[in-house]
Amino acid sequence: AASPISTSRHAAPSPSMHSLPPTEIIPRVYVGDINAAENAATLASLGITHVLSAMRGHVAIPPGFPIEVLQLPLQDSPFAELAGFLPRATAFLSTALRNPHARVLVHCVQGVSRSSSVVCAFLIAQYGWTPEQAVQYVKSKRPNAQPNPGFVSQLKEYA
């Protein structure tokens, strides 16, 4: 029998954090955590075709999924670099979404700060939203979304 203990190298969120399933922020763009990105049933049920991994370390996409992955080695720290990665992230999302069948999961370890910040940057680039509008919108869809203060400052520079 399979072990119920995760063999992932990433620190698992504590049970008290109530890990949320992936949230559809805009049509075909989801924010989630590492567990969603490494879960075959989740990827299949959402029809995920692209994964943007906004964390350091390797995401273990289950075998048998022809998923295009962009790995951005982001750290979740107010002092970490985000802005330099945003052009690649937004280009990856834009290119993926040109295919009407594409569905993108943007994830980090907990699905709270890094992944939410990347999707906010995409909303700013795609729709001309202010950082405040983007953050508020993402939080309205995913209540635990919380870009760290340093990332919010970098979103303002990016806008």
C-alpha R_g of the chain: 15
Q: Which of 74, 108, 123, 124 is catalytic?
A: 108
- Cβ neighbours of residue 3 closer than 8 Å, sequence gap 6 or more: none
Is 108 an annotated catalytic residue? Answer: yes
What single-letter amino acid sits at 102? A
How do beta strands 50-53 and 68-71 pair? parallel
Please count the residues of the chain.
Answer: 159
How do beta strands 104-107 and 50-53 pair? parallel
Distance CA 79, CA 77 (A): 5
Q: What angle do CA 145, 150, 153 make, to 5 degrees?
A: 95
Q: Of 62, 106, 111, whose CA–CA distance to 85 is shortest?
A: 106
The residues that are catalytic are 108
